[in-house]
Amino acid sequence: MTENEPVSTPPVPPQSTEPPASGVPSAEERQWAMFAHLSALAGAVVSSAFGGWGTFIGPLIIWLIKKDTMPFAASQAKEALNFNITVSAIFLMLLILTIITFGIGALLAVPVMLVVGIAALVFTIIAAVKANEGIEYRYPVSVRIIK
């Protein structure tokens, strides 16, 4: 190579401006789907002083905002919403059982609440990871209230 010879650089491949293939959620859509699941955990932490009923507020907001623009994020938000409504209903029934039995039902309700709470935490983390990978996650135990 001589001093006057120009240095050539390899050609840069053109960037694709096409949207992702049909059925494959975009990175932004996967991120919103993950947020839908994790917002339930955030709602549980924030609303724990108020009885923990805020677990379905985050998924509800994400579902309402993204239902027309991001189908994958909307379906995952709906899934998280249904699951967290189901968990909240279980906790409410156990609380009512405890009140009706003048506290004796707490012998059953407290261990069941502990198991349900741990299972909800595990399922929510699994759902968030799967959503971030672009995989539709269905909670194993959930009443499909929102269709």
Contacts of 52 (CB under 8 A, 6+ apart): 44, 88, 91
Are the CB atoms for 37 and 131 separated by under 8 Å?
A: yes
> In angstroms, rounded to a whole number, what is the distance separating the alpha carbons of residues 115 and 17?
48
Rounded mean pLDDT, 70-96: 92
For the ranges 79-83, 86-90, 142-146, the lowest mean pLDDT is seen at: 142-146
What pLDDT score does 13 carry? 54
Contacts of 128 (CB under 8 A, 6+ apart): 34, 37, 38
Rounded mean pLDDT, 41-67: 81
**What is the band of 51 on the pLDDT scale with cuts at 50, 70, 90?**
low
Q: Mean of the per-residue pLDDT values for the chain?
A: 84
> In angstroms, rounded to a whole number, what is the distance separating the alpha carbons of residues 87 and 53?
10
